[in-house]
Amino acid sequence: MPAAESVLLPLCVAIALIGVILAGLAWRRGNKGRVVQAAALVIVPFGLYLTGLLTVLWNWAVELVRWAVHLVFSPLHWIGFGILALSVVLFVIGAVLARLTGGTKTDTKAKQTKQVSGKPSGSGGRTPTKAVAGRKQQADVDPELAEIEALLKSRGIE
């Protein structure tokens, strides 16, 4: 790549000339506001050049092009992209499995309480009591929503 100084100053001059031409066209149309705006845009490249920011942008663009060229011809880069793609796929599979299994804390607690009691709640053809029905409803409630409801109740908000 050519040196930044040998490219950037002529580029600034070319942009300035284009801006001056556009300002002249705006002047002929009688649009004074656009002339002032064009004058402001004409001096921006020179300000970027003199502060060194244009050199920083130039070096960034050069490095981006180098990286892209090496990407095309480097199997190591492609292996890296493959690993990144694999991690995304595994993350999505994990999210789907977590949603399908529904391994929430309240579900596991409800299963543990059923195992400890040893008896099904509706034995002998009787209907379940209100306490058992209340526990079943609590097991169906999302733990995050239950936590939010408890917080609101503690603040006196129903």
**For residues 39 and 22, is the Cβ–Cβ distance under 8 A?**
no
Taking only the tens place, the pLDDT of each residue in 77-125 is: 889 999 999 999 999 999 999 999 876 666 566 666 666 555 555 555 5
Question: What is the distance between the alpha carbons of residues 12 and 17, in angstroms, rounded to a whole number?
Answer: 9
> Of 7-21, 112-126, 133-147, where does mean pLDDT reach its minimum?
112-126
Domain ranges of the chain: 4-76, 104-154
- Written as six digits, the tokens of 114 are 């059923």
Question: What is the distance between the alpha carbons of residues 133 and 122, in angstroms, rounded to a whole number?
Answer: 10
How many C-beta atoms lie closer than 10 Å to residue 110's C-beta?
16
Question: What is the distance between the alpha carbons of residues 79 and 75, in angstroms, rounded to a whole number?
Answer: 6
Q: The whole model's pTM is what?
A: 0.42
